[in-house]
C-alpha cells in the first residue's frame, strides 16, 4: 500500500530504461476496488449541501506544488473531500477528453493502457508512464472582470490546480497539488458568488427526483423540531453554505429544462406551455438567505 504522504516520482529522465522495463514487466495485481469515472469527476454526484467537507490539512510552509501519492482507496477519500471543499473546473486535454465526459456512465472503469507492444519490441519508442492524466483548475482561474452589479468577480486569476496521474501497471495515483488559492476561500466569501458546480448538480438531481422550490427549501432548512442528520463521513460537519447560494431562479430553470426534455422526448410541442405552478416566469431572485 502506498504511503499517502509520499510522492513516488518516476520519469524518463530519472528512471533508466531497464528499471522502467522491470516496472512494466511486473505490474501490481488489479486493485479490488478499481477507480471509476465517478471517483475522478470534479463534481460530487452524491453531494449533500447540508454538510461541508474538510479539505486536506496542509501546513502553510508546505511546498508549491505539493506532491502526493495514494493508492486507489486513498485517492478516492482524498478527492471526495477536496472536490467539495473547493470549486473546480476540468482543464480539457488530449489525454483526458476521450474518457472524461460528464454525461458518460459514472460507473465505467478508467482506461488502462497496454504496453505489450513496447515490451516485445513490435513498437519503438518509450512506453507510456501513465494510464491517464487529469487536471482541474480552481473555478476562479480566469482574470477578474468589472461587474455591473455590486459583487466580486468570479475570476480572480487563481493559480490553484490539481494534476492527477495514474501510474501504469501500479496501484499508485500521483497528485500534484498547487494548493494555495489567490483569493478568500472562507465560507462568507463563497456565499456571495454564484453557485458552484456541486450545488448546480444537487439542484438538477433534486428536480429529477420530483422536488420543487418549496421542498428543496425544507430540505436545506429543516424545522427546529427535526433532528439533524448525522454526517456521512468523518470529515463532514453539519453546516451548509449551499442553502445560502441556491436560489428560486436556479430551481425554476432546472424544472424548465426538465420539462423541455420530457416534452421533446414525448413529441408534444405544446407540453412545455402547459401550466406549471412552480414555473413562475417572474424575475424572482429569492434565495434561502432572504425573502
pLDDT (tens digit, 9 = 90+) per residue, 205-255? 889 888 888 888 888 775 444 444 444 443 433 345 555 677 788 888 888
pLDDT (tens digit, 9 = 90+) per residue, 186-207? 877 777 788 888 888 888 888 9
pLDDT of residue 2: 42
**What's the pTM?**
0.74
Average pLDDT over residues 61-84: 93
3-class secondary structure, 167: strand
pLDDT (tens digit, 9 = 90+) per residue, 32-52? 899 999 999 999 988 887 776
Q: Which three cell numbers stand for residue 20?
A: 522502467
b/e map 97-111, b = 16+ CB within 10 Å: eeebeeeeeeeeebe
Q: Is 246 left (phi over 0), alpha (psi -120 to 50) or beta?
A: beta
Amino acid at each position: 500500500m502506498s504511503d499517502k504522504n509520499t510522492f513516488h516520482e518516476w520519469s524518463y529522465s530519472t528512471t533508466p530504461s531497464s528499471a522502467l522495463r522491470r516496472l512494466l514487466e511486473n505490474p501490481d495485481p488489479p486493485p479490488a476496488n478499481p477507480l471509476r469515472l465517478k471517483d475522478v469527476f470534479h463534481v460530487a454526484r452524491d453531494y449533500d449541501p447540508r454538510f461541508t467537507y474538510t479539505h486536506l490539512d496542509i501546513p502553510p510552509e508546505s511546498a508549491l506544488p505539493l506532491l502526493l501519492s495514494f493508492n486507489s482507496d486513498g485517492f478516492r477519500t482524498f478527492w471526495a473531500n477536496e472536490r467539495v471543499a473547493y470549486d473546480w473546473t476540468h482543464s480539457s486535454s488530449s489525454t483526458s477528453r476521450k474518457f472524461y465526459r460528464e454525461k458518460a456512465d459514472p460507473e465505467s472503469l478508467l482506461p488502462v493502457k497496454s504496453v505489450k507492444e513496447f515490451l516485445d519490441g513490435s513498437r519503438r519508442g518509450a512506453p507510456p508512464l501513465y494510464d491517464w492524466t487529469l487536471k482541474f483548475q480552481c473555478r476562479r482561474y480566469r482574470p477578474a472582470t468589472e461587474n455591473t452589479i455590486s459583487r466580486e468577480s468570479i475570476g480572480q486569476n487563481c493559480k490553484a490546480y490539481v494534476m492527477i496521474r495514474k501510474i501504469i501497471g501500479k496501484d499508485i495515483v500521483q497528485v500534484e497539488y498547487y494548493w494555495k488559492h489567490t483569493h478568500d476561500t472562507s465560507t462568507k466569501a463563497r456565499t456571495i458568488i454564484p453557485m458552484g458546480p456541486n450545488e448546480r448538480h444537487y439542484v438538477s438531481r433534486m428536480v429529477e427526483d420530483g422536488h420543487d422550490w418549496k421542498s428543496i427549501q425544507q430540505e436545506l432548512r429543516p424545522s427546529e423540531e427535526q433532528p439533524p442528520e448525522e454526517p456521512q463521513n468523518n470529515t463532514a460537519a453539519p453546516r451548509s453554505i449551499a442553502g445560502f447560494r441556491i436560489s428560486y431562479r436556479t430551481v425554476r430553470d432546472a424544472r424548465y429544462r426538465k420539462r423541455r426534455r420530457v416534452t421533446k422526448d414525448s413529441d408534444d410541442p405544446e407540453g412545455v406551455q402547459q401550466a406549471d405552478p412552480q414555473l413562475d416566469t417572474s424575475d424572482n431572485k429569492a434565495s434561502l438567505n432572504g425573502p
